[in-house]
Amino acid sequence: MFLVGELGRSMRSDGILGVGGSDQSRATAVVVASRRRWLKRRETWLVVLGVALHAVYMLSIFDIYFKTPIVHGMDPVPPRFSEPPAKRLVLLISDGLRADKFFEPDEEGKYRAPFLRNIIKNQGRWGVSHARPPTESRPGHVAIIAGFYEDPSAVTKGWKANPVEFDSVFNQSRHTFAFGSPDIIPIFCSALPHSTWNSYPHEYEDFATDASFLDEWSFDQFEGLLNRSHADPKLKELLHQDKLVVFLHLLGCDSNGHAHRPYSSIYLNNVKVVDKIAERVYHLLEDYYRDNRTSYIFTADHGMSDKGSHGDGHPTNTDTPLVAWGAGIQYPKPASGNSHSDSVTTFVDKHAHDMPTPYDWGLRRVERVDVNQADIAPLMSTLLGLPCPVNSVGNLPLGYMKLNEAEEVEAVVANTKQILNQLLRKSYIKSSNSLFFKPFKPLVHHSFSLSQIDELISAKSYEAAMKLAVDLRNLSLEGLHYFQTYDWLMLMTVITLGYTGWMIVLALHVLQCYSSLSGDLSKKEHLSVQKKDSGKVYISGCLLMAILSVLNLVEHSPPLYHAYIGMTVFLWTQIFSEYRLIRGLWKYLRERRADYFIKLLFAAAVAVVIVELLVHSFTERKLYTWFFLIAGVVASILLHFSIPWRSGIPVFVCISCWFLSVFTLMPAEIPDNNNLVVTSGAIIIVISLAAKWLGTHAEGNKFWQSITFHESRTQMCSMLYCIQIFLVGVSSVMVFLSTKHRTQNQELHSSHQFINWLVAGSSMVLPLFSANGILSRLSSIFLGFAPPFLLLSIGYEAVFYSALAVVLMAWILFENASHHSSKVKESSLSENNTEEHITIGSDERYLQLSDVRIPLVFMVLFNVAFFGTGNFASIASFEISSVYRFITIFSPFLMAALLIFKLFIPFMLVICAFSAITKLVRVPRLGCYFLVILFSDIMTIHFFFLVKNTGSWMEIGNSISHFGIVSAQVVFVLLLFALTNLYTRSIRIKPLSTSPSLKTL
C-alpha cells in the first residue's frame, strides 16, 4: 500500500492500465451506484473473512505448541532381575521445600534436618533434583511419580484428575497407600483400584496458621493404618506383600512458604518438622517389618522463591533436595573431583551439571548425584522391580542404586526399551497415517542394536552393553522430540503463509478500492475480463483445496488442519484471482525511478520499526516514554515546514507528547492518590476552557476553519457546555466526598452512590447533542467521558486522561497542518480530476503513501491508551477500591463490567479522534481500518512465533494472551468503531469549495 500515493499521482497524468479521459459521463451515475454497492459488499465480506481467519489461526497454537506428549498402547518392560532390590518403597514429598534451606545450617550453625543429614553421611545417597518450569505442584508430582514433564496442554483439559490417561509408578505397583493434600493425591489415586488413600478437606489449607500440622496429618493417617493392621488380618496380609508404595505428601512447607516466605521462622521450622516425620516414618516401618527390605526417597516437587511464590525457572524454584536410603540404595561415597556429574550436560531447568556444592552445606566430602526430576520415577520402579511408567522420559540414576554389574545393565536396558517403545509407538502412529512418512533416521536399525546388547550381555561384556544401551536411550529421547515437533514445519508454514496472504489481500483491497487505481478498475470491461479469467483461478483453487483435504483425510489429520490449510489456500486463490491488478502494479513499479523506491523503502522501514516497537512494548512499557519524547521533537520539526512557529502549534505538539511520555514511567500498579484525581477534574475543565476559547477566537482564521467549523445553533450548545463543565466539577467533588465518607464510615453513602451513577450516566449522553464541528464535538466527548472516568480513578490515571486527550488534539492539529500544506502544493501544481471522486464519494479522497502515517499513529495511541496506565499483569490485580464509588456490595460481574468500561474510555477517545481525522483529511475510514488490521497482523505473526510452551505458567499464559489479544484486535477495533460512530457520525467539516491558505495564519 505504500505505492498508493505515488500511484495516485501518476494515474492522474497517464493511467497505468492505459485508459484516460472522461467521456462516459452519462453512465457515470449508474457505475457509481453499482460500484458503491459492490464496495460495501466487499468490505463486509473482508471483515467477516478477517474475523473467521483470526479465530481459526488462533486455535493453531494448540496444535503446534500444546500437543500432549502422551501416547498409549506401549507394553511395560519389567527389568530382568532375579529378585528386586526392595519389597516396598516410601516416597516422602515435602511440597515447596527448596534445596538450600534444607541443606544449609541456621545462624547458630545447626542443621535443620539432622536425621536426613545423618542418612546422607552414613547410610544413603543425596543430590539436587532439578525441576522443570512451570515449577508448580501438579507438574512436579507428575514428573516424580509418572516420569514425564506434563505438557501445558493439560490446561486445556482443566487439570482434571486423569490417572487413566497416563501411567505412573503407583499404577504399576501392587498397592499404593497415599495420604496428603486434596489437590495432589486424587490426581494419582482417585481412579486407581489398588490404592488406599485419604486427603484432608480444603479448609485445612488455611494460610493464616502454621501449616506444619498438615504434615503431621499425613503421618498420623499412615501410622493409624499400620496400627489398624494389627487388628485387621486382611490389611496385614496386604501390607506384607511386595511391590508396595507408600506416599506421604507433606504440604506444610508450601503453605508456610506462601504465607510467611521461605526466610520466616515458620517455614524454616517446617523443615525440621519434615525431617522429624522422615525419622518417625523410618523407625515406624523398620519396627513394623524388621526385614531391611524398605527403600526411602525424600524429595520435593519444587522450591520456593524469596517472595514466597514458585512457578518460574529460578534456581530457588527448580532446585529441590533428594535423599534416598534403605533397601537397594548405595551407601555414601567420598566425593572425588567432579564426580557428581551425570550423563547429561545440562538439566531440564537449564542449569549446568557441575555446579559445585555450596561450602556451608558441609557436604563437599560426600558424593552428590544430581538428577532431573523425572529420573526419580524410573529409580522408584527399578527399586521395586517394576516396569518404568510407560510414558516416562526419565533416565535411571544408577548412582543411587546398589546393583551388581549384570543387574545394572538389565535395569538400564529395561529403561531404554521403555523409552524406545514410546518412540516406536509414535513412529508407528505417524507412519500408518502419513503418505510421505519421514522416519527418525538414527533409529531405523534399533532392533539390531537391541540384539547386539543382548549378545553382549550373554557374553558378559557389560561395559560395552551399557554403553550401547545408554546411546540407544539418548537417541530414543531425541526421537521423541522429533515426533513431537513432526508437524511444526508444515503447520507454521501454512499459518505464516495464511497471515501473509491475508495481509496481501488487504493491501490489494486497499489499493483497488481506496487508491486512485480504483478509477480504472471500475471500468466495466475490466471487471468482466477479470471475472472470466478469475474463474479459472477459482477452479484451480478449489481443486487444490480438494486434493489437500483428501490428503488430510487419508492422513487422519486433526479436523482443524483442514481449516488451516483451507483458509490459506482460499486466501492465495483470492490473491491469484487478482493477477491483473498485480501485473499492473508490477509494470507500474518497474517504470519508477530510484527516488520513488527510496521513499517506499523509507515508509516500509518506519512502519516496521513502529510495529516492532509495539510488539516489544507488550513487555516493556517504558518504550513509549522514548517514543513520545522523540515523536514530540520530530513532529514539531516536521510541522515547522508547513506552519510558522509563532502559531504555537509545533511547541504545543512537542510539549503534549512529552507530557504523555511521563505516564509509562509510572508503576503499573496504580498507587492511591485521591488528591490527584480531584485535581485532574480541574485540569480537565481548564483544557476544555482552552478549547472553547480557541473555538470562538479562531472563528475567522482560515487555518482553523476546518476544525472549528460547525453548522448548528450556538445558544443551546453553550448551555450544554456549561452543564458538562458542571458535571465534571460535581464528579470531582464526589470523588472527594464519597472516598472521605467511605474511609470514615467503612461504607458508601447511598445518596453518594445515587449521585455518582446519575452524573456518570447523564454526562455520557450529552455529547450527542453538542455542536457538530470537530473541535466542539470532540471536546464535548472529552468532557462527557470525564465524570465516569474520574469516578473510577484512584490515582495518576485521571491525569493520564487529560494527557491523552491533549496528545490526540495535537495529532489532529498535525494532520490538519500537513493536510493544508499538501493541499496548497497540490492546487498549485495539479489539475482537478473530477473522475477521481466517483468511487468513494464526493467528500473523500484517495489514500496516498503519506496517509500510511494515520493508521500507524493510531496504533501507537491505541496501545498507549492501555499501556499508559498499566500492563497485562495489572489487569488481574486491579484496584477494586475504584469501583466502590458505584457499588456497595460485592458483585464480581458488575465490578468487572465497570473496570472493563474504565479501560474502554481511553480507547474510545482515540477512536473518536481517529474518526475525526479521517473526516478532516477526507480519507476513507474503512480503508484506514484495513491498514490498521494489516499492520497489527505483522504483530500477530511476530507474537505467533513468540508463543512459549515452556517456562512458568505466567510466561506461557502471557505469551498466549499477547497472541490472542493482537489476533482479537480485528474484532475489537471494529466494535469500538461501531460504538463511537454514535458520537462521531454527525461530525461535519467545512465543504471543499473554499480552500484556505496558510498565509492567513
C-alpha cell read off for 79: 527389568
d(CA 761, CA 718): 20
Nearest-approach distance from CB 311 to Zn ion, in angstroms? 9
Nearest-approach distance from CB 184 to Zn ion, in angstroms? 8
Whole-Å CA distances, 843 to 518, 847, 925: 16, 13, 12
Nearer to Zn ion, 289 or 953 (CB): 953
d(CA 175, CA 381): 13
Nearer to Zn ion, 312 or 612 (CB): 312
> Does residue 915 contact residue 977 with C-beta atoms inside 8 Å?
yes
C-alpha cell read off for 705: 476553519
Nearer to Zn ion, 141 or 417 (CB): 141
Nearest-approach distance from CB 303 to Zn ion, in angstroms? 9
Listed in order, strand segments (DSSP E) in 291-425 are 294-299, 319-326, 371-372
- The residue number whose beta carbon is nearest to Zn ion equals 137
Nearest-approach distance from CB 232 to Zn ion, in angstroms? 33
Other CB atoms within 10 Å distance of the CB of residue 794: 23
Please report, as a single letter, which amino acid is at residue 863: N
Nearer to Zn ion, 274 or 805 (CB): 274
Nearest-approach distance from CB 959 to Zn ion, in angstroms? 22
d(CA 689, CA 330): 84
Nearer to Zn ion, 96 or 927 (CB): 96
Please report, as a single letter, which amino acid is at residue 3: L
Strand order in the sheet with 195-199: 195-199, 175-180, 244-250, 88-94, 294-299, 319-326, 125-130, 371-372
Nearer to Zn ion, 215 or 254 (CB): 254
Nearest-approach distance from CB 168 to Zn ion, in angstroms? 17
> Does residue 60 contact residue 560 with C-beta atoms inside 8 Å?
yes
Nearest-approach distance from CB 185 to Zn ion, in angstroms? 13
Nearest-approach distance from CB 304 to Zn ion, in angstroms? 8
d(CA 308, CA 259): 7
Nearest-approach distance from CB 954 to Zn ion, in angstroms? 14
Quick one: which H or E segment has residue 415? helix 405-433
Nearest-approach distance from CB 312 to Zn ion, in angstroms? 13
> Does residue 95 contact residue 251 with C-beta atoms inside 8 Å?
yes
Q: At what angle do helices 953-984 and 774-791 cross, to 10 degrees?
A: 130
Nearer to Zn ion, 96 or 541 (CB): 96
Nearer to Zn ion, 372 or 516 (CB): 372
Nearer to Zn ion, 96 or 387 (CB): 96
Quick one: which H or E segment has residue 487? none
Chain length of the chain? 1001
Nearest to 582 by CA among 16, 6, 11, 12: 16
Residues 6+ away with beta carbon under 8 Å from 455: none
Nearer to Zn ion, 135 or 738 (CB): 135
Report which DSSP code applies to 800: H
Nearest-approach distance from CB 305 to Zn ion, in angstroms? 11
> Does residue 214 contact residue 252 with C-beta atoms inside 8 Å?
yes
Nearest-approach distance from CB 249 to Zn ion, in angstroms? 9
Nearer to Zn ion, 254 or 319 (CB): 254
Nearer to Zn ion, 65 or 148 (CB): 148
Residues 6+ away with beta carbon under 8 Å from 924: 513, 514, 840, 844, 847, 918
d(CA 509, CA 744): 61
Binding site for Zn ion (CB under 5 A): 95-96, 137, 254, 301
